[in-house]
Chain A
């Protein structure tokens, strides 16, 4: 019987993913209501649960795609993959209040610039502290601190070796996971409760996965504003990483 159920899950993978994720959200909403008295957002619990399951799945299969590496749950890979994720992110723009967005536009641009430079500086300083002295490695690890896509794109463009690339990707992934979990915890502290600050937040944090999860877990009404600026972040990072940032680092360390 188990084999039969597994077969259905493999064959109807996307449909199965809808059912599994729906059940996960149902459980999380119940937990939010009864265990935390509504103080924690149901989506926050669902996202953290998703990350825990991804960890368990990763340990179990040894793969890199968490729960999606289990054949019966492969549909989760499709449902949460870049295609549907971007489709849903674009759809949230339909709910943007244009006046609010325009009011925060300049702030978003400023945040984008800071969101590229600040993580890069932290990443490069850490790399230097851990004994990397060549411009290529320092830049690649610094770029990984921007996002886990900017890291490898930059590394590939300037010819970094695979160990450094792996470190760079791991830095970006760790940042994304920490943004997802950390945002709802510090939201009130950093004033993340209105469209303006959400646009600043999206531009500064950048990582689309992190911002997508962090804002969904904090307050759905802020999602489109944060997503709007965050989606430009990776592109800008990929643009300046192998060019301006690399040249700057090379000029500094020789």
Chain B
């Protein structure tokens, strides 16, 4: 059942955000502390648990993966409602602070990604990318989908 996948995703999100709120309250900040991150970890754990028990049905998988595939369109909608006017007309202090921190952080990413080895990641990573990228073309998905089907 597809709705079970959506419900699983919803439950993980709600629990994660709730825990984030609680954490914020406990720490005395008026903000959600890492709620979405906690929800992501819950979903990863739920997937592992389900697949170990053989309960990761195609329906459940599709219910979650549909929303993963909607990620990029939703992000495009998010971009279309940013306050770009404020960003453009912010003045030099805004521009300098933003550019400075950006350049420094990009530099730090370059530095950190050089620590340890660089590998492009395995087949699971590439399959995840095609789901999130919204490539549902049969020839793109078929080779990766076969081993999954065998496991179930």
Contacts and interface: CB of A to CB of B under 8 A. Distances in A.
Interface in A1-51: 17-18, 21-22, 24-25, 43, 46-51
Interchain residue pairs A-B with the least CB separation, the first 6: A221-B129, A95-B128, A80-B77, A197-B113, A50-B79, A119-B101
A136 interface: no
Interface of B: 9-10, 12-13, 16-17, 20, 23-24, 27, 29-37, 39-41, 43-44, 47-48, 61, 64-68, 70-88, 90-102, 104-110, 112-116, 118-122, 124-134
Given A201-B109, A222-B129, A171 B90 contact: yes
Interface in A170-203: 170-180, 182, 186, 189-197, 200-201
Contacts, number: 371
Given A167-B94, A173-B83, A204-B112, A238 B105 contact: no
Contact of A80 (B48, B75, B92, B105): B75
Nearest to A144: B97
B90 to A, nearest CB: 4
Contact of B125 (A22, A195, A213, A229): A195
Chain A contact residues, majority secondary structure: helix
Contacts of A115: 105, 108
Given A22-B73, A196-B116, A204-B105, A67 B80 contact: yes
Interface residues of A, number: 118
A178 to B, nearest CB: 5
B132 A92 contact: yes
Q: Which of B91, B98, B99 has the most CB of A within 10 A?
A: B98
Given A107-B112, A119-B105, A234-B31, A92 B68 contact: yes
